[in-house]
Structure 1
Amino acid sequence: MIGPGAQPPTGAVLELLTSALRGHIELIIPVVERAARKLPQYYSLRDGGLVAVWSARKKLSATVDPGPDGAAAHAVELAYALDFLCDRYESLRPTAPA
């Protein structure tokens, strides 16, 4: 958790963070998509996984809003997309036998 009064990253730090988020998203999209497509059609976990993939791809191709807060807002959107993909991956993973 970020403490009170914390300022969002800017400049090179923000660019590095955004690049890392994009890279992680690009790596996990095919993993989530493959896992989701193995499930039966119209199965809620499959649909949720594919929605996460679609949403992440949309965020990756989104245009960054101009202005001082545009790049930071885009990074936040990418972070949410990555979190959504990770959640879906966890729900799609086969459980290990006990």
Structure 2
Amino acid sequence: MRATSRLLLAEDAEPPSPQDLETLTLRLRGYMMLAIPVVESAALTWPEDDVPRACALACIGEARMRLRLEPGRNLPAGIRHAQRLARSVNALCDHYQTVGGEHR
């Protein structure tokens, strides 16, 4: 998951072709759809007033919102959309580690 995110977020990342961008976007969306319920399940085991739980649940809310968004109509807008998805994937991985999961 993180390796895919790095393809878009690394400082030296090359802009993907339109075909590669479509593949990356679909892959990131799939990762998010898999990670959201796992992170949510782990977060809900924490006490309601715990900060890691609140942060993880906020991240999940943002990730769900990003899943509802459509990519832009041109390549730069599509890349920005995919980068946002990649940041959500990284955040979900971070929260999974924080609330009791293992490193992905």
TM-score normalised by length of structure 1: 0.85
Counterpart of 1:80, as a letter, is R
Paired-residue identity, %: 34
Pick the aligned partner of 2:38 from 21, 26, 31: 31
- Residue in 1 aligned with 2:65? 58
Paired residue total: 93
Pick the aligned partner of 1:91 from 82, 98, 102: 98
Deviations 1:64-86 (A, max 9, x none): 23333111110000000000000
The offset of 1:16, in angstroms, is 0.4
Pick the aligned partner of 1:21 from 28, 33, 43: 28
- Residue in 1 aligned with 2:77? 70
Distance 2:48 2:59 in 1: 16
- Structure 2's unaligned 5+ residue stretches are 1-9
Deviant stretches of 4+, over 3 Å: none
Deviations 1:2-47 (A, max 9, x none): 53xx531021111001111011110000000001111111210110
Q: Which structure has the higher relative contact order (CA within 8 Å, separation 6+)? A: 2
The offset of 1:62, in angstroms, is 1.2
- Structure 1's unaligned 5+ residue stretches are none
TM-score normalised by length of structure 2: 0.81
SS in 2 for 1:7: coil
Rg comparison, structure with higher value: 1
Note if contact 1:49-1:85 (Cα within 8 Å) is conserved in structure 2.
Answer: yes
- Residue in 2 aligned with 1:82? 89
Give the direction of change, closer, same or farther, for the CA distance of 1:21–1:94 in structure 2 (3 Å limit): closer
